Amino acid sequence: MNNTFSLDKLVRPNIMAMEPYSSARDEFEGSGSIYLDANENSLGSALDSSYNRYPDPRQNGIRKKLSELKSVADNEIFLGNGSDEAIDLLYRAFCEPGRDKAVIFPPTYGMYKVQASINNTPVLEIPLNSDFSLPVEKIKEIINPSVKMLFVCSPNNPTGNLMPKSSIIEVLKDFKGLVVVDEAYIDFAPEGSSMINEIKNYPNLVVLQTFSKAWGLASLRLGMAFAQKPVIDILNKIKYPYNVNGVTQSMVLDALKAFNKKDMMVNQILSLRDNLVQRLKSVSLVEKIYPTSANFILAKVPMANKVYIELVKQGIIVRNRSSVLLCNNCLRITVGTEKENSQLIKALTNIKIKVPAI
Ligand SMILES: *Cc1c(COP(=O)(O)O)cnc(C)c1O
């Protein structure tokens, strides 16, 4: 247990002191037959279907279903407009602009740094070890009271590797700020890899997940944050009142009932991924495939910028990560359909790159 953690000391004083907006739907929660409290259009919508009512600001339906699915209490769940909203709100709640710091571990997801810049939060960058594992000892050396948050991405984007739970727990025990573990790809990792059931043990742990990847609902924009109630209460206090729109809420509720379809797609993607790895290994251009626990593969090729352009010429778009720390000459390839993967392999096989003699 982390006994020295104090949320009151971590939150920005203005956030601690403020009164949140109280919407019409906050002030009357039961059910009436006539709603004249929110200045909505009582006649309907400028569409055939009705969208004239404000959505549930607390997303009670989704949180109830999620709490069963994830075995956490519904008051330990925050829902936002993508996980990106949760990342933004975490900075705004906990980092005094221009003063408090965050730590990231490159190469990693770009949004941690972008949101920090918007919030004028200085970011300390501690590179991952060369095998992409967490630099636990360096973390212990560098953290000080001005550091409020660490962002650990697991499985990590763009490298694909899962960070061992033991290394994250070591950091959780040592650090008095928040450890944000971004699990956007956790459904593709072996069962039991998630940190979500550690929430009860660590008041400084925040786990992020999303409907954008395994659930196949990127367009709906729904992200989740899981943490103990005091942290979740702060995020809910500062979010936009109706941050998750009604269409998203009703579609995601349907998806949650069909979670077996998600599981089936995950299994299918995992077998497509393993097959793609095997086929990539037989392409002479491919120098190295990094181990992955996600729905993408990091591959090393000679002159990645050229390979990238050659693929684009054939209409195949991958992510060029060549300029990213520790990812020299690396392309990040999302697992596609059987047919898309075959076309990728064919295209790579046809690319002729002359590697200059050293
Ligand atoms: C794709 C991705 C997300 C998802 O963000 P949303 O805003 O929920 O779509 C979050 N974190 C990482 C590391 C990702 O790669």
| DSSP conformation letters of 60-104 | HHHHHHHHHHHTS-GGGEEEESSHHHHHHHHHHHH--TTT-EEEE
- What is the maximum span of the chain, computed from C-alpha positions, in angstroms? 79
Bridge partners (DSSP) listed for residue 78: 225
Using only C-alpha atoms, the chain has a radius of gyration, in whole angstroms, of 22
Whole-angstrom distance, CA of residue 78 vs CA of residue 315 = 39
Is 212 a pocket residue for ligand 1 (Cβ < 6 Å)? yes
Nearest CA to ligand 1 atom 1: 184
Is 243 a pocket residue for ligand 1 (Cβ < 6 Å)? no
Which token pair is 160?
């694909």
Residue to mutate, 87, 88, 109, ligand 1, most ligand atoms under 8 Å from C-beta = 109
Of the candidates 208, 197, 200, the residue with the CA atom closest to the CA atom of residue 235: 208
From the CA of 156, give the closest atom in ligand 1: 13
Is 223 a pocket residue for ligand 1 (Cβ < 6 Å)? yes
Strands 205-210 and 223-226: antiparallel
Nearest CA to ligand 1 atom 2: 184
- Share of the chain residues as helix, strand and coil, in percent rounded to the nearest 5: 40, 15, 45
From the CA of 83, give the closest atom in ligand 1: 8
Which token pair is 61?
């339906």
Residue to mutate, 81, 85, 111, ligand 1, most ligand atoms under 8 Å from C-beta = 111
- Answering whether pTM is above 0.85, one says yes
From the CA of 109, give the closest atom in ligand 1: 13
**CA dist list (Å): 98 to 32, 85, 120:** 47, 20, 5
Q: State the DSSP H helix or E strand holding residue 22, giving kind and residue range, or none if neither.
A: none
Is 82 a pocket residue for ligand 1 (Cβ < 6 Å)? yes
Q: Residue 1 has what pLDDT?
A: 46
Q: Residue 357 has what pLDDT?
A: 67
Beta-carbon count within 10 A of 119 CB: 18
Q: Residue 75 has what pLDDT?
A: 98
pLDDT beneath 70, residues of the chain: 1-3, 355-358
Whole-angstrom distance, CA of residue 29 vs CA of residue 53 = 14
Q: Residue 23 has what pLDDT?
A: 85
From the CA of 210, give the closest atom in ligand 1: 8
Apex CA 197: angle with CA 194 and CA 200, to 5°? Answer: 145
From the CA of 213, give the closest atom in ligand 1: 1
Rounded to the nearest 10 degrees, what angle do helices 246-257 and 259-281 cross at? 80
